[in-house]
Structure 1
């Protein structure tokens, strides 16, 4: 899908405006960033320039690569409005004051080209007020585009159009936001807070007020309102710490002035003295001295503390012990229903917050939107909920929710009453439908260019399947290898299915294979639990068999007589990175985080990662020629467990090739990967076997000297040295020199030997156990 937006301008270089500009630059599109001229400034562009400088240092990074910053042209609105003349889309992200916005629009309208789209990032001022008194031509080109913070990472974009907005203006911006910016676009009616913030702020307010009123601790509230409902483990209080408590009064004030009388928000809203005091004392969350949680470093320690909601004083944070939380954990997929039914104070809290929030969601139809799917999408992508509110209602049961609301004395909205005996979603003949206000069901259709494995799985059976993986026919002669294990950790079952898939594809006349799944992460690497179990009973042959099995499986993919395309999203670590290194090509989601991180658990990449990185780096255009530069760079990359922080970064670090593709929209990844695989079919031949000329013992000595320098600087622990010397032996080629030719199998043999040496080492076993217990690396 092509879009006609070739250049963008953002006016307002605050956190949101600058972040929007950075993300447009991530898409490879030139962008102008303007702000005011500060009084008395010698550098009239200082606000915009400083914003870019801060973003280059920020973590998490607004830029996918520092190189993207070159696409931003900075300036100010007094001297540089002429820079808007060739922009196709102009985004206003200035202070939330109607007079300032309208004054700016008049200036913009005087210099912009005809047909350029102008939008506001507001979520508090209605569109009809924004365009009041402006020309019909301006109104035809104007809309609201509400990004969520941070713009790079939050996938939701809410768009509001006015009665005079051109349809093609909306379609142009929507297509650009979808394909180039990776956003899921949700159309909203011109109502306060639109969808995401209208519902999300009510949820936050209810959770805060009810926790105070019902005597819960912040830990109890977050545990109840978090994971059992598919909400991030930060819960509400952790979320407020993350975004900043000082935003709360401004957000609440905007809702007070804009929401109609009788809205549930007004029933709950009141001055929260505790939050006022915390803000006044500088406890604004993670960006301040702490928030509802803080880390007390007094006396050189690190003690997690939490605020007592009654006294406002900090105390040592304690794990909640409510029976309702335990019941929810035991209930598994029925956690939400179990929690809502529980009689203790945790159950009461869940009912007062979540039942009210779900009812409020139902009350927004049709006032804010006609679509329950749009509300669910807004909460999934705008607030990182695993399930949207209507998906949650379906899991609880409409009738059960109504019974809870009635028992709690809460109003039951008409849409919920109309849904009695029904579900908000249903599947028939593999097609998914949503309930409409009139009681009918409407089919939910994917946009053109979107292919989802979840849809394919509803209408077909796998070609192959075991407990950890499956193989699916995704059409046009392409099959998809899906990991299904916990966190997509790689195990012998996955390796076995890879071997079966390599045989099945040509036997059944298929053309290509895509390695893809729709988990939060592509793969976190090998299943460490299996390895530590085998090590604890000294079952070394089982471990060696798994190492060799992984090498054979990945080499089988690499030498298969058909194209293999990897399609990762999220983390692709360790063995998950190694499988991608063996694919003919990769089509990566922009938010892919790749790395060979085995040294963190005292091991080395044992499934061909060392071999493939050596090969990639030996062909690098930026490294000097000769055997040692590639060896040294591979050693640096692997020994420091370097992880690329985006797909662009992965290309710069040679985890991905320059020819590998990047997909911005997660929903489009499988379709793009399938297209890439089909493009490789005609005339396909497997890659030629790699040959290496490595420096041998002399190269290992050079790496040892570099390691010694790290040790003296305090950057390498004793076991780091043990692991790194094994790595050095692999990368330098063992007992060889640059006159001798080594094959891929020779490097694989060195990997196996080093892996088996390290897996027996007490230091490695301690690291693996510590990682399994804490999720954090042990620096022994």
Structure 2
């Protein structure tokens, strides 16, 4: 189906966020809400929501252009406009009567073949459609987005017995490709999948922490990264969502859950939480929750946490737990087997949560795959419940349940002595509810490197990178170092990958499935070299990177970089040297070297100059584009989306953007194959004209003004001076011409000077120690 116009009714946090994300997909959106009593501006609620989103961080919109696609209105004057909409999303109060009254009005204007869906997370579809006509029921479904809609990839899809299969398929495909969602089919049960299991997990963790005497820091340290959960853990997550929201979620679930549901057995009201809410501690949106920031006597901000027994506040300290250290060495099985309070906490939380999930299939979903995907995409778990069971072992979980005198779910019994997932003949399979195994199927257009790795060996590999054959004459160059940082081994294998691809293949994609594409050069390795004055090795690393990226740019075949997440420093420079880019929408790229007292040294300055000079000519001679590059690099601007990356020149107008990360590799491969037909590598730029000292004087004046107002530090001035020297062309003028190699030589010279300075060394050390830039 063709979605050309969308309406979202309900301009609260969720509704407005959903509207913003439709706009991110390039679809015009009508955002409606009620008319407040005695309001002079009848659209005040929707307009206010739009204004708030413009200031929200992280931003709901991927670009300023997307924000312009949202029009506002109200449900009294503008309901007739729904007749022109292809999809209407209802996101109003979680009250069946309020929703049904609204549906009765929508039904009067709904056009044939349009879809109406609810964003409810608690009300069954059967209740929502009571009393509605057959055409309305045919067009109705539940599409449950997760907050914030731009960033959370899960969309739970619930359909009724009358839902039109063609409309359902159209919404599923649009949500997948245009909105970038992982669409998970759910049964029409309370809380669907993610909130049903997630709410139980949170309650089990809160109970166990209090019963076993853990601090909130200890509980979050255990129920966080060791379990593959974001570092917020449990109490940090409740602070993020809002303490005051938790009782409402529990109330709605308890109103609809079966009488024998295990959640009823563990649900309890804790006085410490009631007292926190009563005192205004509603989480991060308020003055704090389980954690808060307070001022010390010297005015410094101090992080504090609440005592779960007494409710008293104390300074928050990072806990040291032997069981967590054991988990780093021996994995999750070692954690649940460790006999301290943290190990017992882990065993209790996982034992209860994983057995609960096992008892819900096929009640809430047909497969364990759907449940695992829902928890990964909706709660950002690194592993779904059944993947976690495989880590601790089904036999361990069965044994734990038996020692607790608890029943063992039938699905869990069927996994005894085996696992929920296995690889058979290179294919990933999952255990079905019937007790046999079935292959995990990917949607059409999804290609994952993880699947390729199960059936193949790398063409070439070292400790930092690997090269894979992904079919149809295309190779894939993958970073595999910690955080995908770049070093001499990366550059060596990149050179080898170019030679191999040139001899046997059509094209190459640069891609990986890490959290981040690349955080840039390996600073730890660089600092080691600096501290023992290994200047020849550092010089060789600069030259090696320049040579590798130059070979990439002028390769006789097309190279397509496919970034997702952070692509910083050298990770951004590899994008700049690729023939084309197919970026995930959530790509955050930038040349951030000034933050550690350096400048881009692997061709980043050169490529940004070439891109700026290729822009349409503007009045003012060469300085306006040059000034744009100086500002972008000198202030370490990072694009907050792939769309914004085009504005900053990190991406070109013709570069592609993929909304669904699971489709990124397939899209990049398709782009590479399309470019391969008759591909001709670019010719080196032989005429680069730069203003020389004239431009440096202008840059120095601008930076000096920033320094005088405190917006630039003394060392910022030093680094900016070196950057200005490169971008202005050194000791040249506008009548002379430079080559690409000339600009690379300038980069090399200035980088080599900076890396020896104490101010740069201090910045690198501070970044490695704290993860934050030093303002020296």
Is the structural similarity TM-score above 0.5? yes
Query: Where does residue 157 of structure 1 map in the other structure?
Result: 155
One of 745, 749, 752 as aligned partner of 2:745: 749
Query: Where does residue 373 of structure 2 map in the other structure?
Result: 377
Query: Where does residue 61 of structure 2 map in the other structure?
Result: 63
- Alignment of 1:680 with 2:697, yes or no, is no
1:143–1:159 CA contact under 8 A, matched in 2: yes
Query: Where does residue 517 of structure 1 map in the other structure?
Result: 512
- Alignment of 1:176 with 2:174, yes or no, is yes
CA deviation after TM superposition for structure 1 residue 620, in Å:
2.5
- Alignment of 1:695 with 2:691, yes or no, is yes
Give SS of 1:427's match: strand
CA deviation after TM superposition for structure 1 residue 705, in Å:
0.4
Pairs within 5 Å for 1:43-58: 43-58=41-56
CA deviation string 1:248-271 (max 9, x = no partner): 111111111111112111111112
Pairs within 5 Å for 1:578-727: 578-621=573-616, 624=619, 626-690=621-685, 691-727=687-723
1:35–1:77 CA contact under 8 A, matched in 2: yes
Pairs within 5 Å for 1:383-402: 383-402=379-398
CA deviation string 1:296-352 (max 9, x = no partner): 234420211111111112100112123222222232xx2x11111111111111111
Query: Where does residue 527 of structure 2 map in the other structure?
Result: 532
CA deviation string 1:458-491 (max 9, x = no partner): 1111111111111111111111101101100001
Change (3 A) 1:623 1:607: farther
Query: Where does residue 473 of structure 1 map in the other structure?
Result: 469
Query: Where does residue 107 of structure 1 map in the other structure?
Result: 105
1:423 and 1:623 mapped to 2: Cα distance?
64
CA deviation after TM superposition for structure 1 residue 622, in Å:
8.0
1:394–1:423 CA contact under 8 A, matched in 2: yes
1:286 and 1:754 mapped to 2: Cα distance?
44
Question: Which is further off, 578-587 or 346-355?
Answer: 346-355
1:513–1:565 CA contact under 8 A, matched in 2: yes
CA deviation after TM superposition for structure 1 residue 625, in Å:
5.8
TM-score by length of 2: 0.99
1:624 and 1:504 mapped to 2: Cα distance?
46
2:30 and 2:411 mapped to 1: Cα distance?
45
1:376 and 1:72 mapped to 2: Cα distance?
34
Query: Where does residue 421 of structure 1 map in the other structure?
Result: 417
One of 90, 94, 101 as aligned partner of 1:96: 94
User: 4+ residue runs of structure 1 moved beyond 4 angstroms?
Assistant: 622-625
Query: Where does residue 304 of structure 2 map in the other structure?
Result: 305
Query: Where does residue 735 of structure 2 map in the other structure?
Result: 739
CA deviation string 1:418-459 (max 9, x = no partner): 211121011111111110111111111111111111111111
Pairs within 5 Å for 1:113-128: 113-128=111-126
CA deviation string 1:210-257 (max 9, x = no partner): 111211100000011111111111100111111111111111111111
1:172 and 1:49 mapped to 2: Cα distance?
30
TM-score by length of 1: 0.98
1:672 and 1:624 mapped to 2: Cα distance?
38
CA deviation after TM superposition for structure 1 residue 757, in Å:
0.6
Query: Where does residue 544 of structure 1 map in the other structure?
Result: 539
Number of residues of Structure 1 aligned to a counterpart in Structure 2: 774
1:778 and 1:120 mapped to 2: Cα distance?
48
Alignment RMSD: 1.1
Give SS of 1:210's match: helix
Give SS of 2:108's match: helix
1:711–1:717 CA contact under 8 A, matched in 2: yes
Runs (5+) with no aligned partner, structure 2: none
